[in-house]
């Protein structure tokens, strides 16, 4: 975890940005909640717990900066807010998402799966792919009744 912060710090420095205390607190929150898909407001509230003096605008500015640096990806699941997702280190593709229309849970798929499809698209459409966004909407494994488990989870 510390090493990860260090690497992000280096990345900031390489573009002549500084890892200020506020930025570090924000990054820590993101790292500590890597499983989740936090909105700017979510991040703000969590950062406040450890650095109560931080302002919402700073969180927005920091998230924007981290997005530019590709440390996080900004995504939108159609609920009116942007969410920020830490990019898996070393992965050259953005991971995919499974959004459950029953309970609202958002699960992740780290496997690429799109290799063949991208080849087809690049050749068939003469389009140079730099990034992708893939989200499936459906019923998650927790919401299937076939296993008798009626627990609907708390969602995301």
Partner DNA sequence: TAGAATAGGATAATGATTCTTTTTTAATAA
Partner DNA sequence: TTATTAAAAAAGAATCATTATCCTATTCTA
Q: Is residue 22 near DNA by the rule CB under 7 A? A: yes
Q: Is residue 103 near DNA by the rule CB under 7 A? A: no
Q: Are 18 and 12 spatial neighbours (Cβ–Cβ below 8 Å)?
A: yes
Closest CA to 97 of 144, 132, 121: 132
Q: Is residue 102 near Zn ion by the rule CB under 5 A? A: yes
Count of beta carbons in the 10 Å neighbourhood of residue 148: 6
What torsion, rounded to 10 degrees, do the Cα atoms 86, 82, 15, 111 define? 30
Rounded to a whole number of angstroms, the minimum distance from the CB of residue 55 to a copy of itself is 22
Using the minimum distance from each CB to a copy of itself, give the nearer residue, 16 or 126.
126
Count of beta carbons in the 10 Å neighbourhood of residue 30: 23
Residues 27-66 that bind DNA (CB under 7 A): 39-41, 51, 53-58, 60-62, 64
Stretch that binds a copy of itself, among 5-13, 46-54, 55-63, 115-123 (CB under 8 A): 115-123
Q: Is residue 25 near Zn ion by the rule CB under 5 A? A: no
């Amino acid at each position: 975890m510390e090493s990860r912060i260090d690497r992000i710090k280096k990345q900031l420095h390489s573009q002549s940005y500084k890892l200020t205390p506020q930025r570090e607190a924000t990054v820590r929150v993101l790292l500590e909640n890597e499983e989740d898909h936090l909105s700017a407001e979510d991040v703000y509230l969590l950062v406040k717990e450890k650095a109560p003096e931080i302002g919402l605008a700073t969180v927005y500015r920091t998230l924007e900066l981290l997005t530019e640096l590709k440390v996080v990806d900004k995504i939108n699941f159609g609920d009116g807010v942007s969410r920020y997702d830490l990019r898996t280190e070393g992965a050259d593709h953005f991971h995919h998402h499974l959004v459950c229309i029953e309970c609202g849970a958002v699960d992740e798929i780290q496997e690429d799966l799109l290799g063949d499809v991208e080849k087809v698209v690049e050749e068939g459409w003469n389009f140079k792919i730099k990034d992708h966004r893939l989200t499936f909407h459906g019923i998650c494994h927790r919401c299937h009744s076939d296993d008798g488990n009626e627990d609907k989870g708390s969602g995301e």
